[in-house]
Amino acid sequence: MAAAPAVTASSSSSSFLSQSSFSLKASKSTHRRPAGRSSVTVRCVSSPPAVDTSYKTSVPRNANMAKLQAGYLFPEIARRRAAHLLKYPDAKIISLGIGDTTEPIPHVITNAMAERAHALSTIDGYSGYGAEQGEKKVRAAIAATYYADLGIEDSDIFVSDGAKCDISRLQLLFGSNVTIAVQDPSYPAYVDSSVIMGQTGLYQQDVQKYGNIEYMRCNPENGFFPDLSTVPRTDIIFFCSPNNPTGAAASRDQLTRLVKFAKDNGSIIVYDSAYAMYISDDSPKSIFEIPGAKEVALETASFSKYAGFTGVRLGWTVVPKELLFSDGHPVAKDFNRIVCTCFNGASNISQAGGLACLSPEGLKAMHDVVGFYKENTEIIVDTFTSLGFNVYGAKNAPYVWVHFPGRNSWDVFAEILEKANVVTTPGSGFGPGGEGFVRVSAFGHRDNIIEAARRLKQLYK
């Protein structure tokens, strides 16, 4: 530590500046001084630096965790929202950022869950551990509702606590030695789980990418579908349609090309169809609508954005028996082993809700909920287009992808939060291809959507 002069009343002796260790010492002086006054010598006394005495184990940290950049996107947004509220405690924030549903779960669904929950308090209705793969009735209902005539059987379906959780289980299935490709931009769980598994290299700050990941650029110029002729072969291809965050749904021709690309390269497609019920044109709702897909793809899905199950937690993954590893071993058998090891099955109460979702009344109720959010997207789209912005998505998804040319996404996020008290999601949080965009979620009460639109018009008029 650099030496500093002592603070003294009569001499210039030297000492060291310490953090807070001071000796105050009254001293006599030969000089005359006014009555009642005394001379004080203040000496800075050196003390050893504070020692960290907390106990540490001998277990090294997972080096892959150290590769991750800052926090996961949505907790980081929540942190900045909280900081804004500390600065402006009276701010009336409207959140159009994280894709969390806001409308109540339809009664036909909650009544079924309540009935199942009550039955658990009876001798006849109680049940403990269930099948890790899901209840037979639920698996059969999923197959009949979403995969009729597509050759998907009940036994191909694994019921879970949500698509995001299944993505991490799939990463365990594939292991650390595979190579991956992702849409750019895309849902950050694909990349972050790959980093944690050790599939990637270090983060490259200059290009804002991890090494050993193939980022398939999806932008307005290519219709948000990658130019596959420029994409190197990878083992795993993560593909979400309708896409989060851009809202773009791949056409039948595009998915046909994707399946052929995977087959030519011997790759496996992890197809995320979490927003399929939002599709209102003839875009495929499942990858298995494409001939040959069962040999190269599996599919994850969820009730979260259809029935408001973001907190209830229920989803599923389809692993066709035709999907094989390079040695001929069925992928489904290994996934079943992963599920049985890492999971005790979805909540029986949640599965009762899922079964109600797939009843005629439940399906109608879910379509009504989806329709409500799609009306919200129209309000958001009309708002930004009236202000002269280029807007994408929305037609087949609950997200509006807004272009701010030449702007930094986090700067736009901060501007909208600071000046309009509206939370959005910066596009760069979904990958380098999202820079210059923000994602605006349509999940919100109608009054909040209308008020957010008013504030945005005032901000950018």
pLDDT at 44: 55
CA distance 274 to 313: 13
pLDDT at 40: 52
CA distance 12 to 29: 16
Helices (H), 161-290: 163-174, 188-197, 252-265
Q: Which residues make Cβ contacts (< 8 Å) with residue 105, sequence separation at least 6?
A: 307, 308, 309, 312, 353
Cα angle at 246 between 245 and 251, to 5 degrees? 125
pLDDT at 19: 43
DSSP string, 441-461: E--S-HHHHHHHHHHHHHHH-
CA distance 344 to 326: 29
Q: What residues form DSSP beta bridges with 42?
A: 7, 24
DSSP string, 33-61: --TT--EEEEEE---PPPP------SPPP
Residue 432 and residue 209 in contact, taking contact as beta carbons nearer than 8 Å: yes
CATH topology of domain 66-103+363-460: Aspartate Aminotransferase, domain 1 (3.90.1150)
pLDDT at 347: 98
CA distance 389 to 332: 46
Distances (CA, A) of 217 to 23, 87, 228, 251: 65, 38, 10, 17
Distances (CA, A) of 406 to 92, 274, 412, 437, 455: 29, 31, 11, 10, 23
pLDDT at 47: 62
Residue 271 and residue 303 in contact, taking contact as beta carbons nearer than 8 Å: no
The mean predicted confidence, pLDDT, of the chain is 91
Per-residue pLDDT of the chain (461 residues; tens, 9 = 90+): 444 433 334 344 443 334 444 333 444 444 444 455 455 555 555 566 677 779 999 999 999 999 998 767 888 898 999 999 999 999 999 999 988 999 999 999 999 999 999 999 999 999 999 999 999 999 999 999 999 999 999 999 999 999 999 999 999 999 999 999 999 999 999 999 999 999 999 999 999 999 999 999 999 999 999 999 999 999 999 999 999 999 999 999 999 999 999 999 999 999 999 999 999 999 999 999 999 999 999 999 999 999 999 999 999 999 999 999 999 999 999 999 999 999 999 999 999 999 999 999 999 999 999 999 999 999 999 999 999 999 999 999 999 999 999 999 999 999 999 999 999 999 999 999 999 999 999 999 999 999 999 999 999 99
Nearest alpha carbon to residue 157 among 359, 354, 366, 364? 354
Name the phi and psi angles at 124, rounded to 5.
-75, -30
Distances (CA, A) of 408 to 27, 84, 299, 415, 455: 62, 19, 34, 11, 21
Enumerate the domain spans of the chain: 66-103+363-460, 107-358
**SS3 state of residue 387:** coil
Q: Which CATH number fits domain 107-358: 1.20.120.1230, 3.50.50.60, 3.40.190.10, 3.40.640.10?
A: 3.40.640.10
Residue 263 in tokens: 């087959």
pLDDT at 10: 39
CA distance 218 to 211: 19
With the C-alpha atoms ordered 87, 92, 94, 100, is the resulting torsion angle positive or negative?
positive
pLDDT at 357: 98
Helices (H), 1-150: 63-67, 73-87, 107-119, 136-146
Long-range (24+ apart) CB contacts under 8 A made by 145-148 are 145/358, 145/363, 146/276, 146/285, 146/286, 146/301, 147/286, 147/288, 147/318
Q: Which residues make Cβ contacts (< 8 Å) with residue 364, sequence separation at least 6?
A: none
List, for residues 268-283, the tens digit of each pLDDT value.
999 999 999 999 999 9
